């Protein structure tokens, strides 16, 4: 399991990590906690939809787009709250080398 991912060089510690290959493309599923203090920064990042994804512990780097996104709480504006975010990223096909899938 990986303990962190980087989206556009922003480090996100993860609680759960899953990786699979579908039609030659990576699909990464992660669960991570977001506090009320970093809620705005994380959601602003996720609005970008497509990222440079790095998983240092797996020596992986690719361009990925959000496939699914969910959170356990939609209002983290009150101090001291923590929400659990679920994120699934799919590798974008144009980043595959060699031209075949």
In this prediction, residue 74 carries a pLDDT of 72
- In this structure, is residue 12 part of a structural domain? yes
- In this structure, is residue 47 part of a structural domain? yes
Q: What is the mean pLDDT of residues 73-86?
A: 87
Please give the helix or strand (H or E) that residue 45 lies within, else none: helix 39-46
Both tokens of residue 69?
């996104």
Residue with tokens 């240092």: 56
The span from the CA of 36 to the CA of 87, in Å, is 18
Distance of CA 51 to the CA centre of its chain: 9
In this prediction, residue 4 carries a pLDDT of 97
- In this structure, is residue 50 part of a structural domain? yes
Structure pTM? 0.86
Which residues form the domain of 46?
4-95
Tens digits of per-residue pLDDT, 16-49? 999 999 999 999 999 999 999 999 999 999 999 9
The span from the CA of 64 to the CA of 93, in Å, is 9
**Looking at 37-51, 53-67, 73-87, which range is the least confident one?**
73-87
- In this structure, is residue 49 part of a structural domain? yes
- In this structure, is residue 101 part of a structural domain? no
Could you give the number of structural domains in the chain?
1
- In this structure, is residue 90 part of a structural domain? yes
CATH number, position 53: 2.40.30.80
């Amino acid at each position: 399991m990986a303990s962190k991912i980087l989206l556009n060089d922003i480090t996100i510690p993860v609680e759960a990590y899953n990786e699979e290959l579908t039609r030659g493309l990576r699909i990464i599923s992660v669960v991570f906690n977001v506090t009320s203090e970093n809620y705005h920064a994380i959601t602003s990042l996720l609005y970008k939809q497509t990222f440079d994804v790095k998983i240092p512990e797996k020596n992986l780097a690719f361009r990925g787009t959000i496939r699914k996104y969910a959170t356990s709480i939609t209002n983290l504006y009150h101090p001291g709250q923590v929400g659990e975010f679920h994120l699934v990223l799919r590798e974008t096909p144009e980043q595959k080398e060699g031209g075949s899938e």
